[in-house]
Amino acid sequence: MSLRRYVFLDPDGTADVWLYVVVEAPTGVFYQQQYGGTACRQGQVEGYLVPVYGLDALNALRTLFEQHFRGAGTWNHSWSPEERDRLRDGVEGVTFWACDGWTEEPHALKLDESRMAEADEAWIPVLTPDGPGVLLWFNSD
């Protein structure tokens, strides 16, 4: 019996609005996601799922990827300083609530600029108070 578990987020594409971070950790649980707009890339990340909030940030990210990049994904894209700023601002508008078991505290996510090559629609490398992760939302395709 495999100790790995796979969870496909929104497998039929019918969920309305959602925004998550998978914090990367050796959990044996792998979250799978279609991302990259109409490029329909398939991603997988091991860790634990954290629901996050930032409706304005989500709208800004969707505008960047669906309008500016025309929903075609950003694989091998050279990000201009303006595009990187827009992405960074969108990511930092997402609230991650960290809890040590007693105290809950809100933190803004940070774009993990060391992994910019991975950044695409609905798949953004981020830094959380708990470590590196991936910001995910429903793909526009």
Q: What is the mean pLDDT of residues 121-138?
A: 96
Indicate the pTM of the whole model.
Answer: 0.93
Strand, coil or helix: 45? strand
Which residue, 134, 121, 115, 140, is CA-closest to 47? 134
Q: For 74-105, how does the pLDDT look when each residue is reduced to its tens digit (9 = 90+)? A: 988 999 999 999 999 999 999 999 988 888 99
- Tokens representing residue 14 in the block: 């019918």
User: Is pLDDT above 90 for 140?
Assistant: no
* Beta strand spans in the chain (E): 5-8, 19-24, 29-35, 41-51, 95-99, 104-108, 110-111, 124-128, 131-137
Q: What is the mean pLDDT of residues 12-22?
A: 86
Residue ranges of domains in the chain: 5-137
User: Is pLDDT above 80 for 10?
Assistant: yes
- For position 84, what pLDDT does the model report? 97
Q: What is the mean pLDDT of the chain?
A: 93
